[in-house]
Amino acid sequence: MADQYMLTKRIIPCLDIKNGRTVKGVNFVNLIDAGDPVVLAKQYAEKGADELVFLDISATLEGRKTTLEMVLRVAEQVNIPFTVGGGISSIEDVDLLLKSGADKVSINSSAIKRPELINELSDKFGSQCVVVAIDAKQINGKWMVHLAGGSIPTTLDLFEWAKEVETRGAGEILFTSMDHDGTKDGFANEALSRLSSELNIPIIASGGAGTVQHFVDTFQKGKSDAALAASVFHFGEIEIKDLKEELRTNNIEVRL
């Protein structure tokens, strides 16, 4: 019976947002426009996406205001949960996003700069809405955490940082392997599997999705709880329904 009623693995399209429009960075550079976020979000919900992530890469205050309006429109029209990340550094930022209808927020650089922020957010809003995103890549065999969209290396070790993040009250970790992001060569399953076994909160795999088999692998070998991808979904290379059917064929629990 336990097998019959299992929490499903989640498929999460990620939409990079700049000034209210969707963009996707390939290896964090070269931005390609992939449409209106609200229209895309609604489509994804109808196609069977389990959740959505919006990553705001707007650099200006005005751009960020536009994003807040977009969050409200998404909340109005979309009937699945969504996370908003990018440039969030205070309780006030989070309060505004949650009040606009976001279900969760994702923090990254601000948590590295001031780890207490994780405690403050989970105390005030509950750990269920605090996702900590971690960008890391291997340097001399060690997974090193990077800041600011992956542009600045830190001295933090991925696994130590992830443990600290959990202890401070994060509800979930979104791990992006910079070595895999944009390559379409598969997810960083070795690191993911280690994260999943060392931690007791859900892990979202990000970076490297290219084929359906990559998703099968990240759930089976990477022990990920959810998998996030952008371009394979945005450009129709993988249909979510086909993907989920294939996952089910591989005995991976999904919502269909």
Partner 1 sequence: MNIVIIDYGAGNTKSVQFACNRLGYNPILSNSEDVIKAADKVIFPGVGQASHAMEMLKKSGLDTLIPTLKQPVLGICLGMQLLCNATEEGDTLGLGVFDVKVKRFSNKVKVPQMGWNTIFDLESDLFEGLKNDAYMYLVHSYYAEVCEHTIAQTNYDLNYSSALKKENFYGVQFHPEKSSTEGAQILRNFLKL
Among 2, 61, 92, 140, binds partner 1 (CB under 8 A): 2
Site size toward partner 1 (CB under 8 A) is 39
When asked if residue 121 is in the footprint of partner 1 (CB under 8 A), the reply is: no
Q: With CB under 8 A as the contact rule, which of the stretches 7-15, 55-63, 181-189, 227-235 interacts with partner 1?
A: 7-15
Sorted by sequence, the CB contacts under 8 Å of residue 72 that are 6+ apart come out as 100, 101
Report the 10 Å Cβ neighbour count for 146: 23
Residue with Cβ nearer partner 1 (99 or 114): 99
Among 23, 34, 38, 45, binds partner 1 (CB under 8 A): 45
Known active-site residue 179: no
- Please give the residues from 11 up to 40 whose contact with partner 1 meets the rule CB under 8 A: none
Q: Which of 56, 135, 181, 217 is catalytic?
A: 135
Cα gap 195→215, rounded to integer Å: 17
Residue with Cβ nearer partner 1 (42 or 184): 42
Structure tokens at 178: 């910079």
Among 15, 84, 98, 178, binds partner 1 (CB under 8 A): 98
Residue with tokens 């969707």: 22
Residue with Cβ nearer partner 1 (127 or 177): 127
DSSP 9: P
Q: Are 16 and 24 in contact (CB under 8 A)?
A: yes
Beta-bridged to residue 205, according to DSSP, are: 175, 227
Structure tokens at 32: 């390609």
- Strands 52-56 and 82-85, sheet pairing: parallel
Q: Are 85 and 133 in contact (CB under 8 A)?
A: yes
Among 63, 90, 101, 149, binds partner 1 (CB under 8 A): 101
Among 56, 172, 181, 217, binds partner 1 (CB under 8 A): 172
When asked if residue 119 is in the footprint of partner 1 (CB under 8 A), the reply is: no
Residue with Cβ nearer partner 1 (98 or 134): 98
**For 43-59, b where at least 16 C-beta lie within 10 A, e where not — what string?**
ebbeebbbbbbbbbbbe
Interaction site with partner 1 (CB under 8 A): 1-2, 4-10, 45, 50-51, 72, 75-77, 79-81, 98-101, 103, 123-129, 171-172, 200-202, 225-226, 255
